[in-house]
Amino acid sequence: MNTAIRIEVMPARLGDCLLVECARESGQPWRMLVDGGPPGTWPRLEQKLKRLEPHERHIDVAVVTHIDSDHIGGMLPFLQSEYAEHVGDYWFNGPKHMPPGSLERGAKQGNSLVAALQGESFGPVLPWNQAFDGGPINTGDEAGFIEVPVPDGPLITVLSPTCKRLAILAREWLGTIEQAKRGPQDDLRSDALEPLDDLAAVAAQETSDDTSAPNGSSIALLLEHRGARVVLGADAFGNVLGAGLAGVAAHRGLQALEVDAFKLPHHASQRNVTEALLEVAPARHYLVSTNGDTFHHPDDAALARVVLTAPDGPTLWFNYRTKRTVRWADTKLCERYGYTARFPEKPETGTVLELPARP
């Protein structure tokens, strides 16, 4: 198989840590690191980078999608490591990228992530949002998008956040930083596993919208390379991500934008995975990044919507085998609804999906 895009969803507990590679005609692949998971993810990521030959350790883009401890915890030690200088560009929206006049009064840039990027942690100044001339990464209004072509690499399209979502984050910046330092508070509700006999009823569960300012500010991306397409949803709001995808589809004269793989937003939370989102970007493969040990993700309603909405028998890819996810591999359930469930070959490696090149 001539692989166009390789996606590795590393074990990052409740968080995200993705390595994406796009094959090139010659030489090393173009490589993107998306988030670093919570702090405990760093040793695993470090070991993976150590196994690469020194001349292979270049990362073209490292994306910090948003300020949440389950996404930035492992990035902080990465930024203090020898590997930080091997990154071509860091994509992250800090205080200086917030809309004018929106930043919370008294907010300072002295948090660890911003300090590391600016060389204030006894390291070099690192390249920051260079693809955007050092400015903010936002799509403007909903249905907006930004295309970033890479020579001999992928076409990257920014789908989220909007300017409005960055302004909302700015008003809550200090509280967001403090929450990130504290880390997530465990969901004390018992993890009740409901029957999956009637997926239509499961999918139809009434769901409130995600209102988290950090999640709303997530950098969500569409990558296209050699005919393969993948959506990296971060923790983006379903309506914002869906509007961005719809904007791309409309720009290309399409009713919907078919993709090969879709990394579901917010660890397959039912608040972010809506039928409207799934319909605008139907996929063959859906990636879920979580072990469910804190917030009981993935939500059954979200996965039911995927199975019922996606055409042609989708495949669900989980980076952990848990009591919540293994139910979705039930043979009778898969046969009845015409889908497949996949798990990592080894628990410590996460899951790997290779997308073939297409004309």
Instruction: Give the domain CATH number at 229.
Output: 3.60.15.10
Residue 48 sits at φ, ψ, to 5 deg, of -65, -45
> Which token pair is 160?
């989220």
> Which token pair is 29?
């692949």
pLDDT tens digits, 277-289: 999 999 999 999 9
Rounded-to-integer distance, Cα 85 and Cα 194, Å: 47
In a domain, 190, yes or no: no
In a domain, 89, yes or no: yes
Rounded-to-integer distance, Cα 104 and Cα 224, Å: 37
In a domain, 308, yes or no: yes
In a domain, 189, yes or no: no
Going by pLDDT thresholds of 50, 70 and 90, the confidence category of residue 223 is very high
In a domain, 153, yes or no: yes
In a domain, 154, yes or no: yes
In a domain, 345, yes or no: yes
Helical H runs in the chain? Answer: 42-50, 69-72, 75-79, 112-117, 163-171, 173-182, 199-203, 213-216, 238-251, 275-280, 300-309, 331-337
The answer, yes or no, to whether residue 109 has pLDDT greater than 60, is: no
Total number of residues shown for the chain = 359
Domain that holds residue 224: 3-184+195-356
Sign, Cα dihedral of 120, 121, 125, 128: negative
Residue of 121, 112, 20 lying closest to 61 (CA atoms): 20
Rounded-to-integer distance, Cα 305 and Cα 299, Å: 10
How many folded domains does the chain comprise? Answer: 1
Going by pLDDT thresholds of 50, 70 and 90, the confidence category of residue 186 is low
CB 154, CB 5: distance < 8 Å: yes
pLDDT tens digits, 260-315: 999 999 999 999 999 999 999 999 999 999 999 888 999 999 999 999 999 889 99
pLDDT > 70: percent of the chain: 96
136-142: average pLDDT: 95
100-117: average pLDDT: 75
> Which token pair is 343?
């798990």
In a domain, 250, yes or no: yes
Question: pTM above the 0.85 mark?
Answer: yes
Cite the beta strand spans of the chain per DSSP E. 3-9, 18-22, 30-34, 59-63, 87-91, 146-149, 155-160, 220-225, 228-232, 259-263, 283-288, 315-318, 340-342, 351-356
Going by pLDDT thresholds of 50, 70 and 90, the confidence category of residue 107 is low
Q: Which position has the higher pLDDT, 118 or 280?
A: 280
Residue 238 sits at φ, ψ, to 5 deg, of -60, -40
Q: How far is CA 13 from CA 34, 39, 290, 353, in A?
A: 15, 10, 6, 19
